[in-house]
A and B are shown apart, each in its own frame.
Chain A
Amino acid sequence: NAGVTQTPKFRVLKTGQSMTLLCAQDMNHEYMYWYRQDPGMGLRLIHYSVGEGTTAKGEVPDGYNVSRLKKQNFLLGLESAAPSQTSVYFCASSTSLVAASTDTQYFGPGTRLTVL
């Protein structure tokens, strides 16, 4: 089991450029999440998905889009990158909301994105 993997690990963009971050999990988890981590602010939820073909907005969704075409993959897109989106992005997955009170999230290694 690779667990949760993220591609790429590092990326530098210029303002206005677009890119897609890929998250993949091989644990057959229903739920997947994208977070951003900024110094002094912990993790903030951008978008999440409760199953294939579904997505929902989290705490800070503006400027991002997501897609969950396959159960194992969750893509995070930046259509027009801005310096405020410089951050470390974490993908996570978990089993289901049925046991959400005890369910833990498994995190990927993170993607460090810099927007100049």
Chain B
Amino acid sequence: AQKITQTQPGMFVQEKEAVTLDCTYDTSDQSYGLFWYKQPSSGEMIFLIYQGSYDEQNATEGRYSLNFQKARKSANLVISASQLGDSAMYFCAMREFYTGGFKTIFGAGTRLFVKA
């Protein structure tokens, strides 16, 4: 079973509008971390935002916010006021901990296209 599900292979948004990228996760752990990364066409992976499972407030970083709904196991990324430079692939990831280690699992990604 997939641990991280990103149901939107591609999304279009008009410049200056807000867009929500969906992410649902599956874990039985109480302690875990959720991340969003951006991968532009140049290929590098850029960290955007983090949400801890015990954090009560939704994380925000500039134009990025994470809509964390723990009971529904969703961690959607909201980008406000989209810019052309936001066109990229976006990955949701979850870090799980287990005795002796941890692992980070990535979703398949959502490609965002921002239209002028």
Cβ 8 A contact of A105, one of B43, B97, B101, B104: B104
The interface residues of chain B lying within 8 Å CB-to-CB of A97 are 101-102
User: B68 contacts the other chain (Cβ, under 8 Å)?
Assistant: no
Residues of A within 8 A of B109 (CB): 42
A52-80 interface bits toward B, Cβ cutoff 8 Å, 1 = contact, 0 = none: 00001011000000000000000000000
A-contact 0/1 string along B78-116, CB 8 Å cutoff: 000000000000010101010001111011110000000
CB distance from A111 to the nearest CB of B (A): 10
Interface string of B49-79 (1 = CB under 8 A from A): 0101100000000000000000000000000
Q: Report, as a range, how many residues of chain B touch the other chain.
A: 20 to 34
Q: How far is the CA of A32 from the CA of B47 in the complex (A)?
A: 16
Interface residues on A, range: 20 to 34
> Contact at B50–A102, with CB atoms within 8 Å?
yes
B109 to chain A, nearest CB (A): 6
| Chain B residues positioned under 8 Å from A59 (CB to CB) | 103
B13 within 8 A of A: no
Q: Does A2 contact B (CB under 8 A)?
A: no
* A22 interfacial contact with B, CB 8 Å: no
Q: How far is the CB of A89 from chain B (nearest CB, A)?
A: 11
Taking A102-B50, A105-B45, A105-B104 as known contacts, 12 extra A-B pairs with beta carbons closer than 8 A to each other, sorted by chain A number, are A42-B108, A42-B109, A45-B104, A100-B33, A100-B95, A100-B97, A101-B32, A101-B33, A101-B52, A107-B44, A109-B43, A110-B44
Q: Which residues of A contact B (CB under 8 A)?
A: 35, 40-45, 50, 56, 58-59, 88, 90, 92, 97, 100-102, 104-110, 112
A-B residue pairs, 8 tightest by C-beta: A107-B45, A42-B106, A43-B106, A104-B47, A110-B43, A42-B108, A109-B44, A101-B33
